[in-house]
Structure formats: C-alpha cells, structure tokens
Structure 1
Amino acid sequence: MINYKQLYYFWQVAKLGGITRAAEQLHLTPQTLSGQIGELERTLGTPLFIRTGRRMELSAAGQLALPHAEQIFMLGNELEALLHNPGRQGELTLRVGLTDAVPKSIAYRLLAPALQLSQPVRLLCQEEKPEKLFAELALHHLDLVISDRPLPATVGVKGYSHRLGCSPLIWVGTPTLAERARHDFPHSLRELPLLLPGANAAQSAPLARWLQEQKLATHVVGEFDDSALMKSFGEAGVGLFPVPEVILEEVCRHYGVEPAGRLDEIQVSYYAISLERRLTHPAVLAVSQTAHQLLSGKAETTNASTTGSPADP
C-alpha cells in the first residue's frame, strides 16, 4: 500500500523542482527526503525521478504519477476546508488561467456567467505567460486557460481549444485624433501616430501585415505587452490604438476616447483551453455556452460597469 506521506514528499519535490528546495519547505534534511522518496520508488517498483548529477527530472512513471498525486492532495485540501467550514458544502471551484494578452474586461465578461449559476462557485484566477499556464493546465492545477489564440502544437500539452467567439477591431483615440482619423479612413492614418499591442497578442502579426498593406507602418510610435498601458498612452493623446469591439463602449467611457474607424479585416478570437475534448465542468460550460453572445454583444447580462468590472477594460 502507498505511504501517502512519501507520496506527498514526491509531489512537493516535483512541484518545487528539487530535493534541496523541497527539504527547506518541508523542514527536513535533504538526506531524509531523498530516503523517503527512495522508499516510495521501491514500494512502487519503478523510479519516479531520473537523477543526473544534482538534477532530478521526472521519469515516465513520475510524469504519470504526478497528476494523480496532485488530485489526491487537492481533494485533501478541499476536504479539510469543507470540514472547517461546512457552510461551503456543494461549492464548485473553477481554476482559471488568463494569458496576459486577454484584456481584463473581456475576461470578466467571459467568466461572469460562471458566478451566476444556482450552485455557488469559487473562482480562482491567475494571470501569466501562456507557456506557464499551459504547464499548470497539464499538471491539473487549472480547469481551463482563456487565451486569444488556440493551444500551440509545440507546447507538448495534450489539450483542446474551444473557440468562444470573436470580435472585430476598432481604432480609437482622443476626440481630436479620432476626428482626424475618421476623414478618409483608413488612408488618414498615414498622417497619425499609432499604438499597437505587443508581439504576445494574437492580433499583433495580422495588424502588422495590414499596416504594411496600407503603408502605415512608419507611424507606429509604441508597442505594448500591457494593454492597460497602451490605453493609458492613448488616453494621453500619444496615438490611436485598436480595441476589440466587444469592449468599445467601456474603453471609450473609461479613457475618454472615441471610435475612429472599424477594422473588419482582423477578428480577435478567444479560446477556452482545457484537457477535456468535451467540456463537463458546470462553470466551464456556463462560460462556453454564453461566450458567443457576450462577444457579439447580444447577451442579456448585467452591465459590467454597474457590477464592479475591472478598472482595466
């Protein structure tokens, strides 16, 4: 029978990336921790780590065992929390990763339906680079990742990209810039400064191609990985910038900008990426089933501006 304390030690070493770091966290000596994992490997009859000098990498058996160990100890944590707070019985947990290219206001719109279920939902969100989130998803640390691009084949994670919907881009700017841009758009942009999302955004490459075709690339004055920072520069009148139409009203109200021209040639898509081919988590289903209407602006949901939406549209 598996010794669950030894399994916990294995989980910690795998999660923290080495014996020394895990030993410090667990207040054990590295020798004791190494011996306990060795005992577990002998019980299981297979090595869980491949040791190369001081480095420890998961073996094939370790990679197979890790997600199961993760589920075991997550269930243990949920049981402990439930016993300490019986009033939360029946609560669903939805663990979501948001890539940093997804505007917070869009993330709010997509996730809000999960909180409107009759069953209580506890939402746990983290924002990170896509590669980090896909790794967390593979380890079952997340239920889904919301991204502006599908799961790349190169990341080595077996998952499924569920397209939630899309939205065209709208160029916006201060009233003065927007008025100048609306005259003979898009040719008018040749004389105006432009701000663009950084290379991490899915629309970055299509926008670059469009600017080249329109001979507008010479007027790009800034590129931003942080969409909120790009909007702040736009608010200050530094340049026109593109936003998805789904959040146009919020951006205009929050940053004091106006629409300058519609860019139907480029559609920004959003995806829910999960390990399931068929979505089954009730909260994830709620997100998926209402996303198309939300992104098309047809959903009959509470206006984000009256329910505490993020300050960064």
Structure 2
Amino acid sequence: MYHPGVDWLNYHHLLYFWTVAREGSVTAAARTLNLSQPALSTQIRALEESLGERLFEKAGRGLRLTGAGQVAFRYADEIFTLGREFRQALKGRPTGRALRLVVGVSDVLPKLMVQRLLRPALRLGEPLHLTCREGTLPLLLEALQAHEVDIVLSDVPCTPVTGPRAFNHLLGECGVELFGSPDLVARHPGPFPEALNGAPFLLPSEGHALRRGLDTWFERRGLHPVISGEFDDSALLMTFGEEGLGFLAAHAAISGEVARAHGLVGLGPMDGLKGRIYAVSAERRLVHPAVLAVLEAAKAEIFL
C-alpha cells in the first residue's frame, strides 16, 4: 500500500539505469531491455528527477556516470545481486555469497599492525571477501563517505579539518619502542637513549602523528638525531630499517612481530610516547559483523 509522504524508489527505473550503466549506452541497453530508446531515456530522466541528481553526463559521443551516478550504480549493483540471491535462496540453492569487508588503510600504519587488527575478521567462521585500499587519510575519508569502504583504519581521528563528518572509534593505544638492525645497534653502544645522540634515524614524514611525538621525545631528552630518511609509507621505512640505515620507532603492541619480520633489535620503550589506532566509520553505530570482530579483538587481544 502506498503511504503519502514516504519516498519510494522505483525499482523499474533503477533497473533501467543499472542496465544503461552496465551496457555503456542507451542504445545497447534498449536492445537488452527490448525497449525503445526514447522510452528508456524518459525512464532514466524520471529516476534522476525523483533523486534530485544527474546520474549521467555526456562524454564525447557516449555517456559516463557522474559522482552521484557512481554511488547509485554501486547500490543498484548490490540490490540486484541480492535480488538474484534471494530468488536462489527461496529455491533452496546455495548463494555462495561471502561476507564483504572493504577496509581503507592509512598508508602510515605499520602493515604488521593492520594484519593483526584484521586477523579476527578472518576467523568469523563464514566466508569473508576482504579488500584493503591503502592511501592518504583525506582520500580514504572521501571513499568512506561515498560508501566505497566500510571502515578506515588510521593513526589519527577524523576531524572537520581532515575530512567530512565521520565517527571515530578508538581501537586502543600502546607505547612506542625503538628498533635498529643488529649492526646499527652495535655501532651505538652505551646507555639508552643517551647513546643515540647524533645517530641516524628513519622517521615518518612531517605531519604524521607519530612524527610529532618523536620530535617532542627527542627535544625533551636533548637528543639531536641525524635524519637519514623520511617516509609516507611505513613498509618502505621498515625496508630501509632492515638495511641498517637508521633507527626506527614502532608500536609496542607489535614489537615481537616487528623484530621477527624485519630482523631488528629492540632497544627499549620510548617513555611518554603513545601510539593510537582508530577505526573511522560513516555511521555512529557499527553493525558489520567483521568490523565488530575487529573492534572487540583489538580491545581484548592487542591493546591490553
């Protein structure tokens, strides 16, 4: 029954839009749907008017999706995929559908930390299709708002300065430890941290949360490191660290993994320095079972 005042989505119009987007043109879609081109164009315009958004724009002799059209296509694709699976389920056929989780990963996060954080999602007991997208936080937050990712992992919370409105969920915080290759450590004997004055360091690029903390730590202890390299990407920083080109800092929660994976020696904790990890979502309330597993395990197993 129709209820006045409630916005209804015309799924026939959505199907026509989805087909045009998949086929790449009104002509090809009209053939697939066995409709005339004018009738199909009218239905697409009706959908655009009901949504209040342009879904297509001219691109040479063809069409391309607008930003709103890209969002609409992703939702339409999911809707019609679910529709097919619904019919199969009613007929008693297995759908074979895996739970999907798309995670945006800030490129400054240690890859070992990301792996450990996401590991519980793979232990849910049901098939999971995990996709990780790495990039800068502003780009990942845009993808979050466009519903291209389910969650963003970051070392800093989202603020009005860093991007669109989102909700921060603190996974936990831990200390920071200093590491170096065995040869590098041997070349700088003495008490920690005084023996590191003038030693080479590999640091995150300026502007990163850990870099700000490290700069403050050096200043408070009167240390003057020689900066051998600055990196946006944590994996590249670790690779240079393996070669003994400088000391580096890493989260204490993964100190064992860092030492084993990269052949590094731990020198000790950097007192007063903390690292934090956040999960950023587009909605206040988290309902995705894989995301909930990540949050629960982070607090119970990683950040104790």
TM interval, shorter chain, is 0.7 to 0.9
- The alignment partner of 1:238 has SS state of coil
Is 1:72 the equivalent of 2:63?
A: no
For structure 1, the residue ranges without an aligned partner over 5 or more in a row are 13-24, 299-313
Query: Residues 207-256 of structure 1, C-alpha deviation per residue, up to 9 Å, x if partnerless?
Result: 12222333434511111122222222222221111111122112212222
Deviation at 1:41, TM superposition (A): 3.9
1:25-64 alignment, distance < 5 Å: 26-28=23-25, 40-42=44-46, 45=49, 47-49=52-54
C-alpha distance 278-43 of structure 1, shift in aligned 2 (>3 A): closer
Instruction: Provide the aligned length of Structure 1 versus Structure 2.
Output: 279
Deviation at 1:136, TM superposition (A): 1.4
Q: TM-score, normalised by structure 2?
A: 0.76
Contact 2:48 / 2:54 at 8 angstroms: preserved in 1? no
Deviation at 1:6, TM superposition (A): 4.8
| Counterpart residue number, 1:125 | 132
Query: Residues 48-68 of structure 1, C-alpha deviation per residue, up to 9 Å, x if partnerless?
Result: 2499999x997xxx86x8756
Q: TM-score, normalised by structure 1?
A: 0.74
Query: Residues 16-49 of structure 1, C-alpha deviation per residue, up to 9 Å, x if partnerless?
Result: xxxxxxxxx854389x99x977763455546524
C-alpha distance 241-81 of structure 1, shift in aligned 2 (>3 A): farther
Structure 1 letter corresponding to 2:14: Y
For structure 2, the residue ranges without an aligned partner over 5 or more in a row are 1-9, 31-37
CA distance in 2, matches of 1:132, 1:158: 14
C-alpha distance 43-101 of structure 1, shift in aligned 2 (>3 A): closer
Instruction: Give the number of the structure whose residues are more often helix, by fraction.
Output: 1
Is 1:268 the equivalent of 2:281?
A: no
C-alpha distance 170-5 of structure 1, shift in aligned 2 (>3 A): same
Deviation at 1:159, TM superposition (A): 1.7
Is 1:105 the equivalent of 2:112?
A: yes
1:144-223 alignment, distance < 5 Å: 144-179=151-186, 181=188, 183-199=190-206, 201-223=208-230
| Counterpart residue number, 2:234 | 227
CA distance in 2, matches of 1:199, 1:166: 21
Query: Residues 272-298 of structure 1, C-alpha deviation per residue, up to 9 Å, x if partnerless?
Result: 1112212111111111011023333x6
Structure 1 letter corresponding to 2:129: R
C-alpha distance 246-73 of structure 1, shift in aligned 2 (>3 A): same
Deviation at 1:198, TM superposition (A): 2.1
Deviation at 1:73, TM superposition (A): 1.9
CA distance in 1, matches of 2:75, 2:57: 28
Structure number with greater Rg is 2
